Amino acid sequence: MATKKATNKSSNPTISVSLRIDPKTKYLIDLLARDQKRTITGVIEWAIERAAAQVQFDQNSGTYYNDMIDELWSTDEATRLTALALHKPSLLDYDQMRIWETVKASPDLWRSGYMPSPNLPIHAHALEVGIIRRYWDSIVEHVDQFRHSPAVKPFVLTSEQKKEAGISDSNFDDFPDELPF
């Protein structure tokens, strides 16, 4: 007697996707599924994996999408957006671009003394990914608050947030008013 094996859905979550395809393509998928003894989902996943191995992610380095997916994918939204923005910002959608532009314009989200230049490549090591992850919800809320602004408004950590993150609040208040030289 066969028993049904219990599966833990949280260990391997899936996402439902609704597709609109023409009847001929649907029939082709059905035929492939029958021939390969796969489910329709299996055929679609197989086709996407084959495409990812054939389409170049970066023409200069010769990397393909399947080479990059482990670097780009994270269950953490902040990490995922940051990775995509650093590797191929042209793939960001409008909302992601607003968040990334805010991150780039926010000195509190970069290592001390570094601010990205619009004309130069960004140094990923200078980005405070841990701080972005910690305050992700606040950053997204900030971007949403200023969504109608024609210019990007930098995200600024409060003094309390800076203290939590271990960032010194270098506003020079602790310096004497007159220096002895």
What would the pLDDT profile of 8-42 be if each residue is shown by its tens digit? Answer: 555 678 889 899 999 999 999 999 999 999 999 99
What distances in angstroms separate CA 117 from CA 65, 105, 113, 154, one per listed residue? Answer: 27, 10, 12, 15
Q: Do both 28 and 99 map to the same domain?
A: no
Half-sphere exposure of 51 (CA within 13 A, CB side): 6
Q: Which two tokens stand for residue 89?
A: 């910002």
Residues belonging to the chain? 181
Tens digit of each residue's pLDDT (9 = 90 or more) over 36-89:
999 999 999 999 999 999 999 998 889 999 999 999 999 999 999 999 999 999
Q: Is 175 among the domain residues? A: no
Position 1 scores a pLDDT of 47
Quick count: other Cβ atoms within 10 Å of Cβ 127?
Answer: 20
CB 86 within 8 A of CB 124: yes
Q: Is 101 among the domain residues? A: yes
Q: Do both 46 and 84 map to the same domain?
A: no
Instruction: Flag whether pLDDT at 162 surpasses 90.
Output: no
Q: Do both 39 and 113 map to the same domain?
A: no
Q: Do both 45 and 128 map to the same domain?
A: no
Q: Do both 75 and 146 map to the same domain?
A: yes
Q: Do both 76 and 156 map to the same domain?
A: yes
DSSP letter assigned to residue 132? H
Position 114 scores a pLDDT of 85
Bridge partners of 110, per DSSP, are: 127
Average pLDDT of the residues in 158-178: 70
CA atoms of 62 and 41, how far apart (whole Å): 29
Number of domains in the chain: 2
Look up the pTM and report it: 0.78
Q: Is 181 among the domain residues? A: no
Helix H or strand E segment including 60: none
Position 113 scores a pLDDT of 75
Average pLDDT of the residues in 88-95: 95
Its domain, for residue 37, covers: 20-54
Residue corresponding to tokens 């506003």 = 171
